[in-house]
Structure 1
Amino acid sequence: MRDGLFALTDAEKFYKQLYENGDRKLLKKPMTYAEYEQLSENRRKYYHRIEHYHETVTTNTPGNTIKEFDADGDQVEVVLHGRYGYPIMHNHAYIELVYVYSGACTHFIEDQKLLMKKGDLCILAPEAMHALAVEDEDTVVINIMMSRHLFDSSFLKILKGGRMTSDFLENILYRKKVSPYLIFPTGEDSWIQELALRIYKERKEKDYLYNESVTLYVKQIFIQLIRKYEMMAIISDPLDNSQESNIMALMGYLSVNYNHVTLKQAAQFFGYNENYLGKILMRYTGKTFSNLISELQMENAKKLLEETNMSITEISVEVGCYDSSHFTRKFKKAYGVTPNNYRKEMQERTTYK
């Protein structure tokens, strides 16, 4: 361990001893709070904080484990996850990042069991029930908690895939239409490792303006995720809990090629047959290929109407609608106004600002 920074605490040493003397089986599956209450008093000796919050904050239901955390501000809370501790299912009102700095751990999320390895970074949705089991003293898992406001402004709103990608991820994390988590496999990325280490050190040492410093480091992690790993996000299949590693790449591909790509071309690019690709899109987005393409066409047409002097005919061609009258009907159906009138409205708003 780096300079003893991640040395076992007294509590971890205590639970390691229990683990080696028969408690190993208790870390193999998630534990409800009711099951935790059945443990001997000796096994519960280091869990007074959890008991306090469970009884006084959550009114004996799953809830926040950090009472003082401001779920709406820019505060960032950092915790080193305890090794050999019991995987007690719980949830939070805020966004949580779970980063495996070294080793491997088991992450129980809702009804799923995931093996996370070094470099895996999991973004967990608010209110998602989860628990971690860390069964190795050389494994280091860093938990980073933040408000939805900070996460939205630092990550969702600057995704390279644009509006469709950010909307898709919002549906996952906030509306749970697919699954309550994303996993980015960053592997041996030394920059993210270094940022995670700096975040933990800042939180541990609590020097002047440490929260501001931690917030900046978190934003740098998000920038690195977007630069290198945005299209590699792993998302659970909403029907059978298997993990789909191509869905983000597929959404990004459609965002870039929406103005000319066909279902057949997209299927060939990803090595799928057309029916299977259509089913994947419907399963993850609730929309057909045609619906998604139409939404992208209209969204980009709006942007061109707002930001350029291109003619309606030029815009219709640019977004893949080669008949301007068809484009006009399509735009009006989507937004209740013709492209020309939409542009006039935007220009008037700008004039009177």
Structure 2
Amino acid sequence: MDMTTHSEEFRKTSHQLELEKMFRTFYAQANDPAYHLPHPYAYYEQEILKAVNRYPDSLTLHKCASLLKEEAFFDKDTDTLVHPHISYFPPIWHIDHFIVIQIVLEGSITTYIAEQELKLKKGNVCIIAPGTRHAVSCFSEANAMKILIRTSSFEKVFFGILRDTDTVLAEFFTRTLYSNNPHPFLFFAGAWDLEMMEILARTIREGRSHRSFHTQMQNSLMNQFFIMLLRNHEKDLVFPEHPQGSQNENLIFLLKYIQEHAASITLPELSQLFNYSERHIQRILRSSTGKSFTEITQSIRMREASRMLRSTDCPVSQIASDLGYGNLGNFRKIFRKTYGMSPADFRKGNSPAAP
């Protein structure tokens, strides 16, 4: 399949093109140098009322509200919606009660979230958490798609993947999207990805088909989409700026290094390697994952210990030593606290011959 940004699935409908033309005219007539910047609904009310009078049933115009709830967008049997962003649409500050994913196919758009300004280019992906005040500015012929996902479906589709892995990054994603976190979005500064676009195109086709099981098929496709996002673009994840203005650009490398060296790395060594004070590293980790350095390394070690007990016949003493525990009794104590049983009992209950 020749998947390009001009593929049928990514083309705007005649109705969407009419809306775009109308808002482009409004923009030209306004002669306002601040028109492209985000404002409350009242700032654009005159233009919006004209549009609503002309297209009273347009789904796009529902986005004029400042607080957007799921029932305004999703049918009872729909979990996922995919549609293009209308260029020249006023960048109204608003809050969605569902997950919003922005993907740029051509050109660029600007997304404003809290006090931050994100420039999204071709191939970039931005995931915005529900309850986040934001606005989108696109005053060009850019082509950008929006994926809207019910919060409950997003938890099932996306976090099902992460919960199964129980990684440090899973903790970060969970806090970023669902806790009282000052970083309510994830930005992947990747390039054009043919695999992801093919999945997105299939998702759009399923949504339009309304065939039996189309919702389940869309959820399955979104599952693939997020797997590809993590597999191909985890390295492209750019973390939001801290409210104080300092961006933890090394956080992704910090977490990965801990994951790869949990059996031997110490906090002083990590501090020296990344040129941060120990206190600052603890603050970064606690803010991003909800765990301390010791809790993170211990979680990684215990997960690896459980894997080795299930899939190898290594003696418990060897496993403890390989994972950096010089004291076998201490290893057994921590393992029992984590899994509620001794390493030997865990192995018996998880061996291939176990009932």
Question: In which range does the TM-score fall when normalised by the shorter chain?
Answer: 0.7 to 0.9
Moved more, 90-99 or 242-251: 242-251
The answer on whether the counterparts of 1:178 and 1:237 sit within 8 Å (CA) in structure 2 is no
1:315 paired to 2:307: no
On the 8 A contact 1:161/1:252 being kept in 2, the answer is: no
Structure 2: give runs of 5+ residues left out of the alignment: none
Q: Deviations over 1:36-88 (max 9, x none)?
A: 54767436546855799689xxxx872316525269x7732112111111122
Shift of residue 106, structure 1, vs aligned partner = 1.1
Percent identical pairs in the alignment equals 23
- Structure 2 length as normaliser, TM-score? 0.78
Q: Secondary structure at the match of 1:96?
A: strand
In the alignment, is residue 92 of structure 1 matched against residue 100 of structure 2? Answer: no
Q: Deviation of residue 261 (structure 1)?
A: 2.0
- 2:171 corresponding residue in structure 1: 167
Distance in 2 of aligned mates of 1:342 and 1:32: 61
1:77 to 78, 81, 86: 81
For 2:126 and 2:299, locate their aligned partners in 1 and report how far apart those are by CA, in whole Å.
29
User: 1:97·1:124 contact (CA, 8 Å) conserved in 2?
Assistant: yes
RMSD: 3.8
Given the alignment, which residue of 6, 12, 16 partners 2:12?
6
Shift of 1:215: 3.8
- Distance change in 2, residues 1:18/1:6 (3 Å): same
The AA in structure 1 aligned to 2:332 is T
C-alpha offsets along residues 226-261 of structure 1, whole Å, 9 cap, x if unaligned? 222123312214433555443233323322221112
Q: Structure 1: which 5+ residue stretches go unaligned?
A: none
Question: 2-side partners of 1:258 and 1:279: how far apart?
Answer: 18
Post-superposition Cα deviations, 1:193-241, rounded to whole Å, max 9, x if no partner, equal 44434444554x5364555554444333222212221233122144335
Please give the alpha-carbon distance, in whole angstroms, between the structure 2 residues aligned to 1:109 and 1:115. 11
**What amino acid is aligned across from residue 255 of structure 2 in structure 1?**
M
Helix, strand or coil for the counterpart of 2:167?
A: helix
**Cα separation, partners in 2 of 1:46 and 1:92, compared to 1, 3 Å:** farther
CA displacement at 1:134 relative to structure 2 = 1.0
Distance (Å, rounded) in 2 between the aligned partners of 1:99 and 1:336: 41
Contact 1:32 1:88 in 2 (8 A): yes
Count of matched residue positions in the alignment of Structure 1 and Structure 2:
342
Pairing of 1:14-93 with structure 2 (within 5 A): 14-22=22-30, 25-37=33-45, 41-42=49-50, 45=53, 48=56, 62-64=67-69, 67=72, 69=74, 75-93=79-97
Helix, strand or coil for the counterpart of 2:89?
A: coil
Aligned CA distance change for structure 1 residues 238 and 272 (closer, same or farther; 3 Å): same
Distance (whole Å) between structure 1 residues aligned to residue 328 and residue 35 of structure 2: 62
Contact 2:242 2:248 in 1 (8 A): no
Following superposition, the deviation at residue 294 of structure 1 comes to 2.3
Alignment map for 1:173-322 (pairs within 5 Å): 173-200=177-204, 203=207, 205-206=208-209, 208=211, 211=215, 214-240=218-244, 243-267=247-271, 271-275=274-278, 276-305=280-309, 309-322=313-326
Does the 8 Å CA contact 1:234/1:244 hold for their aligned counterparts? no
Displacement of 1:125 in angstroms is 1.4
Could you tell me whether the CA contact under 8 Å between 1:232 and 1:248 is conserved in 2? Answer: no
Deviation at 1:185, TM superposition (A): 1.6
**1:231–1:252 Cα contact (<8 Å) kept:** no
Partner of 1:110: 114
